[in-house]
Structure 1
Amino acid sequence: MSRKRTNGNPRGSAEKTNNEENLRDSAGREIKTVGNPIWESGNTYVAARGEKSPKEITNFVMRPVNGIQSDNAYLMDIEFTMASGQVFESQLDSSVFAGAQAFKKAIKKIGGIDMVFSGTEDDLANIQKYMTNKYRDYNHCLGINYVGLYQMDGEWVYVGTDGAIDRKGKPIDSVVSILEDNEALRSGISESAMIKKSELQEISGDLFRFNTFERTVNILGWVGACFLKERLRQRKIKLSHLVIAGGAGSGKSETLEKIIQPIFGLQGSGIGCSGITKFSTLKSTSSTNLLPVIFEEYKPHKLSKIELDLISGTLRSTYDYQTSQRGRA
């Protein structure tokens, strides 16, 4: 469906005018330029076609939210608003804007047949110019491929898949995690309110009473050390693993679910030892320098030699801070 642009569309007219540039040369003479032929109308992009009627070339508009510089690519968090009014956010590699076919392929992965782009290479380039002019102040940040602690400008910050915070718990937007979705590393640390002094005092009396004193000291000491793990690694100090063992009804699961996981804000499940794969272990152990990776139901007599060797090798490599092919171990 094509829509004609008329003087009765003040929004389109204003946006078109705002894109026209008054440039001057070194002598101060005005340089005549052609305004951007793209404008918005009803949550769609419309392209001028000279003497022909303007053409509606999308059924959505875009707003850049984050421009993310990572080691291997420049990524964009983009908010899409459909002509129907539906709003959602998706992350794209900026290289998809290099050509019309690459862009069409990318939006099909996001919205299937519900998203349409029928423009040309020039139209896509002009849409980029339009977005740049309209949203000049969108956030530019650094992207890291793990969750945990990151040192920035001499200060340590926590970066999770749910956001980043400084040491005072204040949200920051200068760094984000670009880690792909990982059930074992979903944490709500950055969304949790910082505990108050009065609240610490309230729980301090019972803090070491959830089990015997010797066990609670080991567990809470290890949990606290995890928040220092990256600093310890930089000083070549190794951190041991925590093993929680016991018979049925001894409180293993309760300790994990009510003590350890809440401290780290862990929302997902651990990795089951039965059926464990090298990919699943590398995906998790190489993707955090703070959150514990939990291996559940470790029952050697029920595991195959391949599974036992994989678990043993993983424990050795992470203890020694060895680097896997996926990155940090």
Structure 2
Amino acid sequence: MTRTPLLSVRDLSVGFPAGKGHVLAVNSASFDVHPGELLGIVGESGSGKSVTALAIMGLLPPTAQLRGSLQFEGRDMLAMSQRELRHLRGKQLGMIFQEPMTSLNPVFTVGDQIMEAVTAQDRMSKKAAADRAVDLLDKVGIPSPRRRLEDYPHQMSGGMRQRVMIAIALACSPRLLIADEPTTALDVTIQAQLLDLLNGLREELGAAIILISHNMGVMAEVADRVVVMYASRVVEEAGIFQLFDEPQHPYTEGLLGSTPDMGGTARRLVTIPGGMPSPGALPPGCLFAPRCPKAIPECTTAQPPLLALPGGQKAACIRAPKLALEALA
């Protein structure tokens, strides 16, 4: 039986003004997020991951041009008014932003900022809001939570500030939580603790999570399914085990090759040559072709669509269908 997705993204494109025209930061992205699922979105900086998240949250600037469909529990988010979106955010959608030091207000205490998030959706007394803030800080693993309400962001470590961001995002128990690079610039110990925290909250609250990262090792730890983005487009989608065992796009292979294998045989890491193309000067055909070690002349003639492959995988590579059939043979 097919599950009904909590969030359905179809042919989402996001453009921004540039000169006399506009450039696409996200181009025809499609994927679903199901209740209780942790979906990873992975790719290099500039691939469109964060813009996709901001589009889902309705937080893009007014100059952004959106096309496609965003459905949350069957409701068209792109047709909602700002008032409807504000009600949806916090109550149903929460987001952990990439850099807590710039996302938290330095002149307000941590307690004030959590209490503001709590009271934005639910009317309650100041004492009840403070008690709720204490419960949230305790839930995300901050010791002495009531005393910490009086702290300012600069008085906390990076890992503690990120936990505060998670507490704010959880203030109204959202059904979908978007975490945009939540472990960036944190040491590996704090990173592991935060990933365990997110996984534990998902199991406890039953919330779905979209985890955005450029780190395939992070995805291996917690993701159920992964969407790989490159230069504004989705180039592969697969379950986490399929992705690591049988990647069907050369870009995914490159990301995996550049990820250290702590438990396997020592090997030299593979680098992906070149860099991400400029959104205003995209190459013809497959956008990854100029950097692809497996490119053939046909790769430069047309942009390959995202095709469904045997086993539930999807890949946007003209060689992927043949490779998938060979793997099944």
Higher relative contact order (CA 8 A, sep 6+): 2
TM, length-normalised to structure 2? 0.25
TM, length-normalised to structure 1? 0.25
